[in-house]
Structure 1
Amino acid sequence: MSVSTPEPLGSPDTPGYVDLALYDADEQELVSRALADATLKLPGWVPREGNTEVVLIESLALIVGELVYAINRVPATVLEGVLALYGLQRDPGKPTTGRVRFTLSDMLGHMIPAGTRLRATVAATGETVDLETVEPLEVLFGATSGEVDVTGVEVGDAGNGIAAGTVLELVDAVPYVDRVELVTALAGGADPEPDDAYYGRGSALLSRLVSTLVLPSHFTAAALAHTSVKRAMTIDLYDPGQAGNPGDHQGHVTVAVADANGNPLSSSVKNEVEASLTAKALAGLRVHVVDPTITTVDVTVTITVTGTDTAGVQTAVADAIRGYLSPSTWAWGGTVHRNELISLIDRVEGVGRVVDITTPAGDVALAGVAPLAQAGTVTVNVQAGA
C-alpha cells in the first residue's frame, strides 16, 4: 500500500486527508516486472515482441491493470458512502449565467424558443462555452430586439468574466436572428468540487464526531448496537419511577428495548444496556431502560369473497391482520385505527368487500409511553354473496 502526499485543500482550516492507493502499478510496469522475472527463471530465454510468452504476459497485465484500477477506487467509494450517511454531499458546481440581447433582421415579431443554443469564446484561451436561453423570448411586432437570461449548458467557471457586449455565436438555426450579444457579463459559474476539497470537508466532519450520547436518536442507535436489542425507542425527559408524562422530568432519558419479535428482554440484558448507555451519556443525564407496553387487539371481521377459495382468503386476511398488528413491525406509539384495518383487509387478494368489523368497535389507543400493538384473537367470517 502506498500513501500519497495530500494536496492543498480548499481551506487551510480543514484537517488533512491522506489518500490511499492500495496498489499503484500500471500495465507497463506489470509487463516489465514479469519479463524481468521470466528472464531470471528461464536462462537463455530472450523476450521478443510477438512471442507467445510475451503476448500472454501482456494480456494478463491488461487484465490485472483493470483490477488495480478498480481496487484503487475502493477507498474513495467507501469514504463517499460514509460521508453520505452523515449528509455530506459533494458540491456539483454551477453553470455560468448572464443575459443576452437578440437583434432580429426584421420587425415582424418572432419567438425565440427556450433552450436556444449560443456559444461564447474565452478570448484569453480560445475555449468555448455553450449557453442556452432559460425561457422563450417573444419579440413583438414592430420591435427588432429583446433580452432573455441564459445559463451554461455545463457547470464550470470557464465562462465567468466574459464581458458585456461580447458577440455570441448562434449555434441553433434561427434564420431571423441578425446578432446576439451579452447584456451582462457572465458570472456565477463554479466547477464541481474537487476530491481534495470534498475529502477535506469530510475530514472536518468526521473529526468533530464524538461518542457522547446527547439526542434521543443517539440513545436509540446506541441501544440497537447491543446484540440482543432489535427494537428500541427513546423517550426524552421521562423517568418511569416518577409520576408524570414524557417531558416532565429534566435530566432523565428512558429507552424502551425489545427483541426481534417485540418481546421484553431479560433483566440482565436490560441492565447491560443501561450500564452501557449511562457510560456514554452526557454528564448529568440519568438513563433508564424499560420494556415496551404491548396492547393486545382482538379483531373480528366479516367479508365477502370473490372466488371459490374461501378458506384460503380467510387465512390470507388473518395473516395480513397479524402481520399488521405485530410488535416486531409496529411503529412505536400511535393508535390502531379501525378504518386502517378495513383498508388493509380490503386490499387482500380475493376479498370482495369488508362487510363489517365488530371488534374492535372503534379506534384503540395504545397504552404506555413505549407502546406496541399485538394481534389477539383474529376471527374472519365470510358472508355469502357479493
Structure 2
Amino acid sequence: MNIAVFTDTFLPMTDGVVSMILNSSRELIRRGHRVKIFAPKIEGVEKYIKNLRNLEIVFYKSMDTPNEEVKLSAVWLPKTIRELKAFKTDVVHFHSPSMIGIEGIIAAKILHIPIVATFHTFLADFEYMKSIGIPKILIKLSSNIIWKLLIFIYEKADAIISPCKYTKKVLLEKKIKKPIIVIPNGIKFNNKQLEFNKKSSNCLYVGRLGPEKNLETLVKTFKFVANKIPSAKLIVVGDGPKKKTMQNLAKQLKISKKIIFKGKIENEKLMKKGEIFKKCALFINTALAENQPVSVIEAMSFGLPIVAIKTKGMPELVNGNGFLCENANPKEIAENAIKILRNQNLRYNFSKASLQKAKKYNISYSVKKLENLYEGLKKITR
C-alpha cells in the first residue's frame, strides 16, 4: 500500500508524536509498503533526514510562531493533490488537526481517498491550556470551542486511532460517531533482557522541555530526592522553552550540579544502545496532560520503574511497575522515587514488570493493527 502521512510536527523536533510517526513509518516500509510524509520544513531538518532511508518526504515552507511547537505552513492544495495522485495514494493518515493535517483531509476528500486520524494530544484539556498560558477565566470558554473544532475535524476521518483506552472513552463521551480503534504507540524493541544497574541512583526524564510537561514540579521533586540520597542525579534528555526555567530553579534550590542536561538526542540514537537508560535507576514523569507518552514506554523497555502522576492514559502504562501519585505534589512524588531507590527488591520487581509490560508495545504489533485498518478502509472505498 501507499500511505500518505500528514503532520504539523516533524524533525528536528523530537517529541512523542514525531517518534511514533517515524517508528511506524519505518516498520511499514520494512513490511513492503511505501510511506510519504507531508510535513513542515523546519530549520535544521536536513541533518536528520539523511538517515531516513526509503522514506519519501514532501516539505511545506514554514515559519515560527511564539509557541515553538506550532509552525505556520504554506500549504498549497494543487501541489498536495498532485503529490497524492503521483504517489497513487491508498490511505491518508493525519496526525495533527492543524494546517497540514487539514490540508490532507481536504485533498483526500477531493480525491476520494480514505482517511485515518490519530488523536495524540488533549489540546482542549484544562491542564494543557493552563500550561501554555491561557488565563483561567478564558479556559472553560476556550475549551468548549476547541473541543467543537476538534470533533468537527476528526469526524472527517473514516476511522480514528486512539493510543489508549482512556482516550477512546473521552472521545466516545464527546459523541464522536466515527469508528475509534485503540492502537498503542509502538517502539522498536531492542532490549531482550533485563539489565539491572544495582549501583545507579540516577533518575531520568526524556521529553520536550515545554510548559505542558510540568517541569518545575520535576525539579522540585528531585530536590527532595537529592536531600535524602546525595549520590542521586537527575538526567534530562530533551530541549525546549522551559530549559532555562529549569536551570534557574535548580540554581535557586542549590542542585544545579546534580541535574545533567543532555540536550536533544535523536530518538534512534537514544534507543539504539540505550546507554542513558542503562545508567539510570528509574524514570520520573510529572506531566499532567499526557495521553500515552512514548518516552515512558521506551524507559520501560530498558526495565526502568516509573514514577508518574495518575492522569489520563498513565494507569494503563504504570501498574505493578512503579508508582502513580494522586497529585502533582513534589514531596509525594519524591517519596515514591526514594522508596524505589532504597529498596533493591522492590526496584528489581518493578524493573522486571516494566520490561514485561513494554513487550506489548512492540512496533510490529501496532503496525500489524494499522495494516489491518488501512486494508479494511481500502476495500470499503473501492
Q: TM-score, normalised by structure 2?
A: 0.20
More helix, by proportion: 2
Give the TM-score normalised by structure 1: 0.19
Structure whose alpha-carbon radius of gyration is higher: 1
